[in-house]
Amino acid sequence: MALTVVSQIFPREMIPAVLPLIEDKLQHSKEIIRRKAVQALYKFYLIAPNQVQHIHDKFRKALCDRDVGVMAASLHIYLQMVKENASGYKDLTESFVTILKQVVGGKLPIDFNYHSVPAPWLQIQLLRILGLLGKDDPRTSELMYEVLDESLRRAEINHNITYAILFECVQTIYTICPKSDLLEKAAKCIGKFVLSPKINLKYLGLKALTYVVQQDPNLALQHQMTIIECLDHPDPIIKRETLELLYRITNGQNITIIVQKMLDYVRQSKEEYTIINLTGKIAELAEKYAPDNEWFIQTMNAVFLVGGDVMHPDIPNNFLRLLAEGFDDEKEDGQLRLYAVQSYLSLLEGEDTFYPQKFIQVMSWVLGEYFYLINDGDPEIIITKLYRLLKQTFVTSETKAWIMSAITKMASRIPCSKTVDKLIQEFSTSLDTCMRQYAFELKHLCENKELMKNLLPLDASCETVVDASLSFLDGYVAEGLSCGAAPYKPHHQRQEEKLSQEKALNFEPYGLSFTSSMSSSGFTGRQSPAGLSLGSDMSGNSAEIGQKDCLKLDGVRKLWGKEGYLPKKENKTGKEDKTQPAPEDSILVGHVDDPPLIQPEQQVVSLSEEEKEKQQLASTLFVGLGTSSTVSLMGKADTMTQKFKRKSKINETHTREEASSIQNFATLPFSPFPDITPNDKENFQGNEHLELRKVSLNSSEVLEASVSLDRSQSLTEAGLDEKLSDYRLSTSSLFADSNIEVLQPSQSAPKTVANKVSLSLCLPEELADHPHSEIVELCSSDVLTVYSCKVWTDDCSLLVLFVANKSPSPLKTVNLVFESTEHFKIFENLSCHFPVIEAQSIESCRKSVQLEKICTTGILSGFVSYHLDMDTHLEFSLIFSLSDFIRPMEITTEDFGKLWLSFSNDVKQNFKMSPQESLLIALNTLKQKLKLHIVEIIGNEGLAACRLLPSVPCLLHCRTHARTLSLWLRSSCSALPDSLLYQCQKVMEES
Amino acid sequence: MIKFFLMVNKQGQTRLSRYYEHVEIPKRTMLEAEVIKNCLSRSKEQCSFIEYKDFKLVYRQYAALFIVVGINETENEMAVYELIHNFVEVLDRYFSRVSELDVSFSVLPRIHLSFFVFLFLTACSIVWQTFKIMFNLDRVHIILDEMVLNGCIVETNKNRILAPLLVLDKMAES
> Contact, A190 vs A208, CB < 8 A?
yes
Chain A residue numbers with beta carbons less than 8 Å from the beta carbon of B158 are 111
User: What is the percent of chain B with per-residue pLDDT over 70, rounded to a whole number?
Assistant: 77
Nearest 5°: phi and psi at A342? -60, -45
pLDDT higher than 60, residue A64: yes
How wide is the angle at C-alpha B39 spanned by C-alphas B35 and B42, nearest 5°? 150
Q: Quick one: pLDDT band at residue A18, thresholds 50, 70, 90?
A: confident
Compute the average pLDDT of residues B14-35. 85
- In this prediction, residue A6 carries a pLDDT of 59
* Yes or no, beta carbons of A237 and B53 under 8 Å apart: no
Q: What is the arithmetic mean of pLDDT over A192-202?
A: 82
Q: Which of A614-628, A749-763, A922-936 bottoms out in mean pLDDT, i.e. has the lowest?
A: A614-628
- Residue A613 or residue A972, greater confidence: A972
Higher pLDDT: A624 or A897? It is A897
> d(Cα A69, Cα A74) in Å, to the nearest integer?
9
Q: Which pLDDT band, with edges at 50, 70 and 90, does A749 fall under?
A: very low
- CB of A39 within 8 Å of a chain B CB? The answer is yes
Cβ pair B76:A124 closer than 8 A? yes
Instruction: Give mean pLDDT, residues A825-844.
Output: 76
Helix or strand run (H / E) with residue A927:
helix A919-930
For A637, how many CA atoms within 13 A lie in the half-sphere containing its CB? 20
User: Given CB atoms, is A46 within the 8 Å cutoff of chain B?
Assistant: yes
Is B131 within 8 Å of B99 (Cβ atoms)?
A: no
pLDDT at res. A237? 80
* Mean pLDDT to the nearest integer, A830-856: 77
Dist. CA A572–CA A695, nearest whole Å: 12
Residue A116 C-alpha, separation from nearest chain B C-alpha, in angstroms: 12
DSSP letter (8 states) at residue A176: B
Q: Which pLDDT value is given to residue B160?
A: 85
Residues B158-171 have a mean pLDDT of 84
pLDDT in tens, A566-594: 333 333 333 333 333 333 333 333 333 33
A94-108, A233-247, A587-601: lowest mean pLDDT where? A587-601
Question: Coil, strand, or helix at residue B57?
Answer: strand
The conformational region for residue A116 under phi > 0 = left, psi -120 to 50 = alpha, else beta, is left
**Residue A44: C-alpha distances to residues A83, A492, A819, B61, B75 (Å):** 17, 61, 27, 35, 22
Least confident of A124-128, A699-703, B34-38: A699-703
Angle at which helices A467-482 and A529-537 cross, to 10° = 160
Which H or E run includes A203? helix A199-213
Q: Do A160 and B81 touch (CB under 8 A)?
A: yes
Omega within 30 of 0 (cis) for the link into A950: yes
Which amino acid does the sequence have at A106? Answer: G
Residues 128-167 of B with CB under 8 A from A: 145-146, 149-150, 152-160, 163-164
Q: Identify the top-confidence range among A560-564, B34-38, B94-98.
A: B34-38
User: How far B142 CA lies from chain A's nearest CA (Å)?
Assistant: 10
Query: Does B49 contact A72 at a Cβ distance shorter than 8 Å?
Result: no
Counting every residue written for chain A, the total comes to 991
Other beta carbons within 10 angstroms of residue A167's beta carbon come to: 26
Q: Which of residues 233-252 of A touch B (CB under 8 A)?
A: 234-235, 237-238, 240-241
Give the residue, A388 or A126, on which the prediction is more confident: A126
* A32 at B interface, C-beta within 8 A: yes
Q: Is B24 on the interface with A (CB under 8 A)?
A: no
Are the C-beta atoms of residues A367 and A383 closer than 8 Å to each other? no
Determine contact, residues A553/A710, Cβ cutoff 8 Å. no
Closest CA to B61 of B75, B79, B47: B47
Residues 6+ apart with CB under 8 A from A477: A624, A625, A628
Beta carbons of B82 and A7 less than 8 Å apart: no
Percent of chain B past pLDDT 90, that is, above it, reads 1
Instruction: For residue A609, name the pLDDT band (cuts at 50, 70, 90).
Output: very low
* The predicted structure's pLDDT at residue A456: 57
pLDDT over 50 at A371, yes or no:
yes
Mean pLDDT, chain A, as a whole number?
65
Lowest-pLDDT range of A496-500, A648-652, B20-24: A648-652
Which residues in chain B have their CB less than 8 angstroms from residue A163's CB? 78
pLDDT of res. A414: 66
Relative to beta strand B148-149, strand B152-153 is antiparallel
Number of residues assigned to chain B: 174
CA angle A295, A299, A303 (to 5 degrees): 170
Question: In three state form, how does the secondary structure of A89-112 look?
Answer: HHHHHHHHHHHHHHHHCCCCCHHH
Provide the pLDDT for residue A489.
39
Name A952's bridge partners.
A948
Show the DSSP H helices in B41-174 as ranges: 77-101, 115-119, 123-135, 137-147, 158-173
Q: Is the confidence at residue A467, as pLDDT, over 50? A: no
pLDDT digits (tens, 9 = 90+) for A95-116: 888 888 888 888 888 888 887 7
Task: Determine the straight-line distance between the first and last CA of chain A, rounded to whole angstroms.
Answer: 42
pLDDT per position as a tens digit, A481-540 = 444 444 433 444 444 444 444 333 333 333 333 333 333 333 333 333 333 333 333 333
Contacts of A120 in chain B (CB under 8 A): 79, 82, 156
Name the least confident of A14-23, A454-463, A722-731.
Answer: A722-731
Which one is predicted more confidently, A980 or A127?
A: A127
Contacts of B83 in chain A (CB under 8 A): 121
> Smallest Cα–Cα separation from B51: which of B39, B60, B61?
B39
The string of pLDDT tens digits covering residues A670-683 is: 333 344 334 444 44
For A402-427, the pLDDT digits (tens) are: 777 777 777 766 666 667 777 777 77
> Which residues contact residue B3 at a Cβ distance below 8 angstroms, ignoring those fewer than 6 apart?
B19, B20, B21, B55, B70, B71, B72, B151
Rounded distance between C-alpha atoms, residue A625 and residue A614, angstroms: 16
Residues in chain A with CB shorter than 8 Å from the CB of B22 are none
β-strands A857-868, A933-938: how paired? unpaired
User: Do residues A737 and A764 lie in contact, with contact meaning Cβ atoms separated by under 8 Å?
Assistant: yes
> CA A697 to CA A685: how far, in whole Å?
19
Say how far apart CA A710 and CA A724 lie, in whole Å: 12
pLDDT band at A712 (very low <50, low <70, confident <90, very high): very low
Closest Cα in chain A, distance from residue B116 (Å): 13
| A407/A386 Cα distance (integer angstroms) | 7
Lowest-confidence region among A11-20, A77-86, A124-133, A572-581: A572-581
What's the rounded mean pLDDT across residues A250-275? Answer: 77
Whether A237 sits inside 8 A of B46 (CB atoms) is yes
**Closest CB from A32, A164, A273 relative to B79:** A164
Residue A199: half-sphere exposure toward Cβ, Cα within 13 Å: 16
Which B positions 50-109 lie with beta carbon below 8 A of chain A?
50-54, 76-79, 81-83, 85-86
The DSSP result for A726-753, as a single string, is HHHHHHHHHHTTTTHHHHHHHHS--S-S
State whether A7 and B46 contact (CB < 8 Å). no
Helix locations, A54-92, DSSP H? 56-63, 68-84
| Nearest CB to A164 within list B78, B155, B164 | B78
Q: Is A692 a residue whose pLDDT tops 50? A: no
Position A73 pLDDT exceeds 80? yes
> By the 8 A CB rule, do A497 and A440 touch?
no
Specify which of A207-216, A383-392, B81-90, B133-142 reaches the highest per-range mean pLDDT. B81-90
Banded model confidence at residue A454, pLDDT cuts 50, 70, 90: low
Picking from B47, B49, B157, the nearest residue to A111 by CB comes out as B157
pLDDT score recorded for residue A523: 36
pTM, 2 dp = 0.52
Q: Which of A348-362, A940-954, B69-83 has the highest mean pLDDT?
A: B69-83
Please tell me whether residue A415 adopts helix, strand or coil conformation. coil
Angle at Cα A982 formed by Cα A980 and Cα A987, nearest 5°? 95
Q: What is the pLDDT of residues A151-196, one digit of tens each?
A: 888 776 778 888 888 888 888 888 888 788 888 888 888 888 888 8
Comparing CB atoms, the residue among B48, B85, B159 nearest residue A200 is B48
Amino acid letter, residue A46: L
Cα angle, residue A201 at apex, residues A195 and A204 outer, rounded to 5°: 105
